[in-house]
Amino acid sequence: MKRIVIDAREYPSSTGRYIRKFLEYLEKIDANSDREYVVLLKSADFDSFQPKASNFKKVRADFKEFTFSEQIGLLRLIRNLKPALVHFGMVQQPVMFTGNKVTTMHDLTTLRFMNPEKNPTLFKIKQSVYGFVNKRVARSSKAILVPSEFVKQDVANYTRVNPEKIEVTYESADKISVPAEEFAPLKNQQFLMYVGRALPHKNLMNLIDAFSLIKEKHPLLKLVLVGKKDSHIERHLAYAASKNIPDVMATGYVSEGQLRWLYENTACYCFPSLSEGFGLPSLEAMAHGAPVASSNATCLPEVNGDAAIYINPTNIQEMAKAISLVLEDQHLRKELIAKGYEQVKKYSWQRMAQETLQVYLKCLSD
């Protein structure tokens, strides 16, 4: 029985959504095969994954990313497991591991944007280290998995690896299964929404500025930033306040039911990002019948197809004009919603898992 180790230390994070869905469907399509799967999890998340198939088991791996413990302790753990193949769900991994491995590279965004809350000099050093890790991992992996053709080309150009070793395995979006739960502060309100962290590359300050222009014709409109309140969100709320832009609000944590209600009731889902590897939230919005105004940067036109109205994320006037059009043109609105439902059907978590399994089999047979 060949042993495959899957590094799922990012299980609870937003990036971990990929590994959670992958494991869910891999268990279904390769249950009780002649392959043994060992899933590495941190103790905090150990009970979150409960293997159902007899050939899946889990092992604790309490090694924080980008630490010496990861480089030494995780390396020792993996070697002791004697795997035929290791799948790292991210580039953070022991760089001295030279065994048979597959790595998922989600995007190169971290290399291109500064974090205003970090010391610029230290962050530049970290970016340099991260760049080195990306190049080393790409060259030492037998296969690289990426979520879009854009990332495939980006990784090939940056790391100088042969594009033939890079496989695109598109992710997917699910409609939230729990019933919609009204988010009381927005009852009977018209609102735009964004879901996710307020990191610099998400470009939310430009969205706030565009929102201020839209409010000239739609004075009761609100802009809702959905997600955990942190220092990044607070910085954006302070920015809106400093420019006297009212009705910019942050929800903080919302339940799955509340998130479904927000998607289903928003006037427009706004995705002004400067850089994405896949851009899952725009597809999730489409799955719930929200019209989407998307940035035309990086992979987003590839992923969203003709189901979004596109904006230049650096042009505030253009952004405001496009979003206003979604609010005011009912024919366009209905068309975007209908096309969104069709676009989501093009993606499948099960197909992603099947394609990844085929990569495993190829690496095991070479």
Strands (E), 73-198: 85-88, 101-104, 143-146, 166-168, 191-195
The answer to whether 279 and 299 are in contact (CB under 8 A) is yes
Q: Are 152 and 146 in contact (CB under 8 A)?
A: yes
Read off the pLDDT of residues 299-308 as tens digits, 9 standing for 90 and up. 999 999 999 9
Which residues have CB under 8 Å from 220's CB, separation 6+?
A: 189, 190
Beta bridge partners of 104: 145
Helix axes 204-214, 316-328, angle to 10 degrees: 60
Question: What is the Cα–Cα distance from 334 to 309, expressed in whole angstroms?
Answer: 12
Contact between residue 200 and residue 177 where contact means Cβ atoms under 8 Å apart: no
- Over residues 310-344, the pLDDT tens digits come to 999 999 999 999 999 999 999 999 999 999 999 99
Residue of 354, 277, 21, 299 lying closest to 173 (CA atoms): 21
* C-alpha to C-alpha distances, 30 to 40, 102, 252, 290, 363, nearest whole angstrom: 18, 18, 38, 35, 16
CB 309 within 8 A of CB 364: no
- Asked if the model's pLDDT at residue 14 lies above 80, the reply is no
CA atoms within 13 A on the CB side of 41: 23
| Residues 41-68 pLDDT 10s | 999 999 999 999 999 999 999 999 989 9
Reported confidence tier of residue 1, pLDDT bands at 50, 70, 90: confident
The residue written with tokens 């988010």 in the block is 183
Using alpha carbons, select from 70, 89, 86 the residue that is nearest to residue 20: 89
DSSP, residue by residue, 155-214: HHHHH---GGGEEE---------SPP---GGGTT--EEEEES---GGG-HHHHHHHHHHH
C-beta of residue 1 within 8 angstroms of C-beta of residue 34: yes
C-alpha–C-alpha distance, residues 366 and 363, integer Å: 5
pLDDT in tens, 89-139: 999 999 999 999 999 999 999 999 988 878 889 889 889 999 999 999 999
